Structure formats: C-alpha cells, structure tokens
Structure 1
Amino acid sequence: MLIPHGTVIAIIDGKNWQLWRNAGNEAAPELAELPTPQLEEHNHGSGGRHYSSAGNPAGHQLDEDAHAAAVASWLNGEVQAHRIEQLVVIAAPRTLGELRHHYNKGTERATIRELSKDLIGRQPDEIIAALRAK
C-alpha cells in the first residue's frame, strides 16, 4: 500500500495507542512518531453491549471499550479540525470493531485504510511491512 505524505497512522489496542505521520513520500514512507495525547477514558458507551456478570466476567472489557471510544473521539476532533486529512488505523481486531462504532462521518471519509492487527510497540519498518503485506 502506498501511504501518502502527511498521512497519520494510529495504532491502537485495548489499553495503549501510538501516532505516527508519514514524513516521506508515498513510495518511500518514513514514519515519524507523534506525541500521543492523554485521554479521559470515562466513556463507557458500550455498556449496553458488554457487561460484567458471573456468566460474563469481562469487567476489563468496559475499560477497553472506553479506551477505544476516547481514541475515536480524539480522532473525530482532529479530522473535524482539519489536523488529520488522511488516516490509517491499525488496531487489535476487537478494538477496531469498537472504534468503528464511534467514528463520525468525517473520520470514516478520512480513513484510507484499516488493518486488523495488534502492532503496538512495533518499529516503523515493521508497521510499513504490515501495511504492504495486504
């Protein structure tokens, strides 16, 4: 996959996230790490779909869903403010599904690629290789 110059790449899992920007060109991307903002993860908006009980002991799932909602909210704001024009989202499979529930229309349009994979903590060359593999 060619990654246009200036594209923001968000890598997200259930607890962490990282931001990168392609400082190179489409054919020879050079990922530059961006500061990752601290988020308030108080939005348990998926509470109706995921809940903890004796039969479903996944209380941590609410925290992961809140993290995904907070990241999506931040991305929505950056796209709306025109600070992100093109976006690539790489996320753990379940997190990616949760993110999609929270994207606004602008973020959906700005997203040029999604990859369902957990790449938190990987080096830029590994990220580029994963994007090129599919």
Structure 2
Amino acid sequence: MILSTGTLVAVVDGEKLALFENTGGRSISLTPRPTPAIAERASGAAGRISSEANPDNDTQAEDGFALGVTEVLNKWVLTNKVEHLLVIAAPKTMGQLRKGWHKETAARVVDEIAKDLTGHSTEQIAAAIEKA
C-alpha cells in the first residue's frame, strides 16, 4: 500500500489507541503522534444495540472506547486536522468505529486493515501496511 505523506494512521483495539503520521514518501515511515484522552464510557452510543445480545461490562467498555475514538477522529476531520486517515483495528472494533464515522470522516478514510496490531512495534505496523 502507498500512503500519502501526512496520512494519519490510527491503530485501535477495544482498549488502546496509537496514532502515527506517515512521514515517508513512497516508503512507509511512521512517526508516533501524541494520543489524546479518550472519554470513558460505560457503554456504546445511546440507542445503539451492542454487538452481543447481553453484553458484559468488558464488551460495553470496548464499544464505548471505540465510540470515544470515533468522536476524536470525527472532530479532527471536521476541523481539518486530518486530510487522510488509515485505520487499523481489531475486526470487532472496526465495526464499532464504522458505526460512528461522520460522513466526512468516512470520506477521508483511505483504507482499513481489520487486524489487531496494538502493542506491536512501529516497524511491524509499517510492514503490515506495506503488505496490505
């Protein structure tokens, strides 16, 4: 995969968010960016049914975290702080993120990788992007 310079790479699971900026040209070179505070929520968005019939507290917390991540990314897109966005997320988290995208955020997502890479090194994440 080829990413534009300046593309924001968000690596997410149900508990963690890591942000990187692609500072390379044709080759992927990820520079860590500060991770914003994500609002803690007891459950997902009001009016939304969780991904399970009777979600336990962990599932609700993960869904709520994903909602918090979407709120931050939506805000950044709407204030023109993000032009291009690559999202790498655990498959379940990816589904929750998609539910919360603003239409403008969805339009700026250049690609998605449904894989849990949180906790992996920057080099491993860059390698996964290059293979995608």
Q: Give TM-score, length-normalised by structure 2.
A: 0.91
Match in the other structure for 1:38: 37
Deviation at 1:40, TM superposition (A): 1.0
Match in the other structure for 2:94: 96
Deviation at 1:124, TM superposition (A): 1.9
Deviation track 1:34-80 (CA, whole Å, cap 9, x = no partner) reads: 0001111226316642288xx84622111100000000010000001
Where 1:127 maps in the other structure, the secondary structure is: helix
Is the counterpart of residue 59 in structure 1 residue 57 in structure 2? Answer: yes
Count how many residue pairs are aligned between Structure 1 and Structure 2.
131
- CA RMSD in angstroms comes to 1.9
Match in the other structure for 2:78: 80
Where 1:95 maps in the other structure, the secondary structure is: helix
1: CA distance, partners of 2:123 / 2:77: 26
2: CA distance, partners of 1:115 / 1:129: 12
Match in the other structure for 2:6: 6
Unaligned runs of 5+ in 2: none
Do the aligned residues in 1 keep the contact of 2:73 with 2:105 (CA within 8 Å)?
yes
Deviation track 1:74-119 (CA, whole Å, cap 9, x = no partner) reads: 0000001110000000000000000000000110011001000000
Among the aligned pairs, what percent are the same residue? Answer: 34
Q: Higher Cα Rg: structure 1 or 2?
A: 1
Where 1:9 maps in the other structure, the secondary structure is: strand
Do the aligned residues in 2 keep the contact of 1:9 with 1:21 (CA within 8 Å)?
yes
Where 1:36 maps in the other structure, the secondary structure is: coil
Q: After the TM superposition, which of the residue ranges 107-116 and 36-45 deviates more from structure 2? A: 36-45
1: CA distance, partners of 2:48 / 2:121: 37
Aligned residue identity for 2:67: A
1: CA distance, partners of 2:9 / 2:93: 15
1: CA distance, partners of 2:45 / 2:115: 23
Q: Deviation above 4 Å: which 4+ runs of structure 1?
A: none
